[in-house]
Amino acid sequence: MKKLVKNSISMFLVSYIMVLVVPLLIATIGFQIAFRIVEDNLKVTHINMLQRSADIIENELVDVESIALQIASDNVILEMASKKKGDSNYILPALDALDNFTLYLNYKDIDLLSSSKAYIYLKNTDLVLYERSYYKPHYFRTYVRGWDIDYDQWRMEMDNIDSMRSGFRRSGNGFEYVFPFSKQIFGEKQGVIVFRIDGDVVARKMEFINNLDSRETYMVEILDETGGQLWASHSAEEFPELSFEDLEKSYLEKDGLSVIVAKSEKIGLYYVLVLPVKESLSQLAALKNIVLLLLVSATAVGVALALTQAVRKGRPVDEALHALSPVGEEPERYVNLGTAVSDIVKKHENVLQEVEQNKITLQKAFFDELLKAEFSTEAQLRYRAEKVDVDIDNQFYQTAFIQLFAENDFISVDQQTINEIKVVSRLMKDYLRKISGNNVWFHKKNYNSEIAIFAIDNIEEDVFDLIKQTKEWVMGECHIEITSGIGGTCNNLLLIWRSMEEARIALENCSRNNPVVSYRAELVKSDEYYFPSIAEEKLEEGIRSGQWQETKDILALLETENCVNRKLHRSKFIKLNQKFMDILGGACNKEELQEKAFWINEVLMQPEIPQQEYFQRLRQLYRKVCNDNVEKKQEQKSQMVEEIKEYIRAHFCESDMGLTKVGSQFRVSESYLSTLFKEQSGGNFGDFLETLRIERACELLQDRTITVNEVAEEVGYNSVQSFRRAFKRVKGVSPKEQREKGEGNH
């Protein structure tokens, strides 16, 4: 044995093998680390792709909810819904309701919403408003069956719309949004709005799945807040059931499948991507197999060469390593390996670039909210801007009010006209984005008008030239006249609505000979008071919600515009005062308003109205009303939470007790209910409910004839596992230990 160990061939063989094995071990560990990094990157990429698609779809679903609310608030449609069979004056309201419904459906470009899949059922007249016509349910059943919906079940639901809840739900071969409505808030429901969501469009908005190799084995699905399936790209028979705990994770592996979950922020829906683990990482798995094969081959060839070199006594180690593969093959394999990894990374970088392009849609939603003055603080504005990747620092902003078909005075608008306007509007916006370097966003004001918001680097940039160039291009390409008013610049986005108001004033001064007008002071009638609708809305919102700082800022703006920039006659100033009093009237009772109006009238009755003193008194009045409303809201909130607690105490043993049920009972959203409960009680809704259940469970555990499973069911838990976890969390011991502890005390 010693002779064998000291044998020179054996010594060379051992040394050659050691020289071979150590680099192979290092290479193997390095490859494993690299593969793990690439695998983690692939998972993150899939998560980001799904989240981006979920955000895009969610924005459109929020728009669907918004349109439904607008339709349900339309006076013409409400009047038609209140009509009953045999009522007189039936025809004109019916035709007006048809026109209004059609205009609402075409007001926004919502890809998920098709007008051929939207209808309103009117209970009192037993009619269905659909596709610019009315149908008796018996004739409408052809469409219902075409959507794979059982007509008898549909009919039963329409007869019982009072029990119907608004929201998204699965129906037939797709899913839909339903919104029951009535003329009175708490009255009997008079109709229901139904929007069928286009499943094919949902699939198109999930285009990232085209980059997956195994298209037959993936599944994308949308689940509601209860975990029920709304839409799926494939049959779900091959895929696992997901619990709520699973849905709260962004990534998990279950039953040999990769499950990626994205949850929407506003609606509470879940977006799920399911892929077989091997298929989702198929390229990486193939790459691992190639590397493993190369390492095994290298080891086998290396051992053989090491033996040969050892026999030859003295072959240099570098020649042995060079002989691991034929000349030129090792560098080729190394290059192929790097290329394979690079291909995977490059492929997913391309997908991320596509996701990046979808930011335009999110940014559009941001500017829509901005023009509606929905941001109350700069902090809220900056948070949303950062979320959608909009740079709001060191830039000026300017708006332009653009009107298509400026020469036409449309008395009525038909579908063909709306379609023509859509085409021209899209061409115009694409051209304006092109010449402005994509630094422009759009908000549809009405069927033939657009608000353009320009982000400009410096004050010298001329939006006037961009609009004029666009006007000439539209005239040359489409032979259509446009007019445009251009507002002033601002560096505070919270005041962008003021630039929009200036653009509107400039638009009113456009003419055939002067189709593009920039705002200037001369355009304003100095004897007309200044009180734009957005300022009125913000003032009403501020005083109603008790936000004094925002109310104070609006009052300061109105004082500057009416007392400094304008010279109002007495009659105009009195009309301005009436606007302020009307707003106060919405926040005060009649007696309080009379007292406040008398105090203001002391100033107005003077021969020369002291405008500065008037606004000083007005600010005092508005501040007092703001403070009163804050106190009233706090009292209402406190009382509401106490009522909620009493309701929970009476029903906590019911298995479906939760935010959804309580929110429906008290007619508030789940998110608002959760925030309100924590704000007023200092604790979470779930903790309060859980404590009540566990305290009752402790009482029941004292009875040895009742099993732990029965106790869990008795206090509202659907599974004994959930009950045990909750009990341990509250009491620090298991139900069994609590029972034994109780017996010990006796």
pLDDT digits (tens, 9 = 90+) for 692-733: 999 999 999 888 888 999 999 999 998 888 899 999 999 899
Residue 79 sits in the same domain as residue 120: yes
pLDDT on residue 341: 44
Pairwise pLDDT comparison (265 vs 104), residue with the higher score? 104
For residues 516 and 567, membership in a common domain is answered with no
Average pLDDT over residues 159-180: 86
Evaluate if pTM is beyond 0.85: no
Question: Do the domain assignments include residue 79?
Answer: yes
Per-residue pLDDT at 314: 44
Confidence (pLDDT) at 10:
65
Q: What is the pLDDT of residue 20?
A: 64
Q: Is the pLDDT reported for residue 83 higher than 50?
A: yes
Its domain, for residue 427, covers: 359-523
Q: Do 342 and 367 reside in the same domain of the chain? A: no
Query: Is residue 528 assigned to a domain?
Result: no
Tokens of 281: 């990482």
Q: Are residues 402 and 319 in the same domain?
A: no
420 domain residue, yes or no: yes
Residue 62 within a domain: no
542 vs 746 pLDDT, higher one: 542
Residue 42 pLDDT > 80: no
Give the per-residue pLDDT at 111. Answer: 76
For residue 267, name the pLDDT band (cuts at 50, 70, 90).
Answer: confident
Mean pLDDT of 242-270: 75
Residue-level length of the chain: 746
Percent of the chain predicted with pLDDT > 90: 9
Query: What confidence category does residue 742 fall into, taking pLDDT thresholds of 50, 70 and 90?
Result: low
Question: Sorting pLDDT into bands at 50, 70 and 90, what band is 194?
Answer: very high
Do 403 and 448 form a contact (C-beta atoms < 8 A)?
A: yes
> What is the C-alpha separation between 129 and 196, in angstroms, rounded?
14
Is there a single domain that holds both residue 342 and residue 381? no
Range of weakest confidence among 37-46, 73-82, 616-625: 37-46
Q: How far is CA 110 from CA 57, 121, 202, 264, 359, in A?
A: 10, 22, 11, 18, 17
Q: Which range, of 196-200, 290-294, 529-533, averages the lowest pLDDT? A: 290-294
Q: Estimate to the nearest angstrom the gap between the alpha carbon of 458 and the chain centroid.
A: 32
pLDDT at site 484: 92
Contact assessment for residue 440 and residue 454, using Cβ atoms and an 8 Å cutoff: yes
Domain total of the chain: 5
* Residue 345: band (very low, low, confident or very high) from pLDDT cuts 50, 70, 90: very low
User: What pLDDT is attached to residue 121?
Assistant: 93
Mean pLDDT, range 129-150, rounded to an integer: 88
State whether 440 and 576 are in the same domain: no
Q: Identify the weakest region by mean pLDDT among 92-96, 405-409, 423-427, 510-514.
A: 405-409
Name residues whose C-beta falls within 8 Å of residue 528's C-beta, 6 or more positions apart in sequence.
566, 572
- What is the average per-residue pLDDT within 353-373? 64
Q: What pLDDT does 281 receive?
A: 55
Does 45 map to a domain? no
Answer yes or no: is 458 within a domain.
yes
The mean pLDDT of 373-386, rounded to a whole number, is: 70
pLDDT in tens, 458-481: 655 688 888 899 988 988 888 888
> d(Cα 463, Cα 456) in Å, to the nearest integer?
9
Chain center to CA of 524:
39
188 torsion bin: left (phi>0), alpha (psi -120 to 50), beta (else): beta
- Residue ending a domain, among 182, 202, 222, is 202
CA contacts within 13 A on the Cβ side of 290: 14
Quote the pLDDT of residue 9: 60
How much is the mean pLDDT over the chain? 77
Domain boundary among 184, 202, 220: 202
Q: Report residue 67's pLDDT band, with 50, 70 and 90 as the boundaries.
A: confident
Q: What is the pLDDT of residue 316?
A: 42
pLDDT higher for 42 or 205? 205
Given the structure tokens 């004292």, which residue do they identify? 702
Q: How far is CA 563 from the centre of its chain?
A: 42
Gap between the Cα atoms of 735 and 706, Å rounded: 12
Q: For residue 217, what pLDDT band results from cuts at 50, 70 and 90? A: low
Share of the chain above pLDDT 70, in %: 74
Is residue 63 in a domain?
Answer: no
Choose the final residue of a domain: 600, 634, 668.
Answer: 634
State the Cα–Cα distance between residues 160 and 189, nearest whole angstrom: 9
Looking at the predicted structure, is the pLDDT value of residue 334 above 70?
no
Query: Do 505 and 543 sit in the same domain of this protein?
Result: no
Task: Specify whether 581 is located in the same domain as 545.
Answer: yes
Of 197-211, 287-301, 687-701, highest mean pLDDT: 687-701
Residue 148 backbone class (left: φ over 0; alpha: ψ -120 to 50; beta: rest): left
675 and 733 in a single domain? The answer is yes
Q: Are residues 291 and 350 in the same domain?
A: yes
CA 87 to chain centre: 43
Residue 64 lies in a domain: no
- Using one digit for the tens of pLDDT, what is the confidence trace for 293-322? 776 776 776 667 666 665 554 444 344 334
CATH number, domain of 662, equals 1.10.10.60
Contacts of 652 (CB under 8 A, 6+ apart): 689, 692, 693, 696, 715, 716
33 and 172 both lie in a single domain = no
Lowest mean pLDDT among 230-234, 425-429, 613-617: 230-234
The count of C-alpha atoms lying within 13 angstroms of the C-alpha of 198, restricted to the half-sphere facing its C-beta, is 15
Pair (409, 478) in one structural domain: yes
pLDDT of 349 reads 58
Residue 384 CA: distances (Å) to CA of 397, 537, 618 = 17, 22, 33
- Return the SS3 of 680: helix
**How far apart, in Å, do the first and last CA atoms of the chain sit?**
78
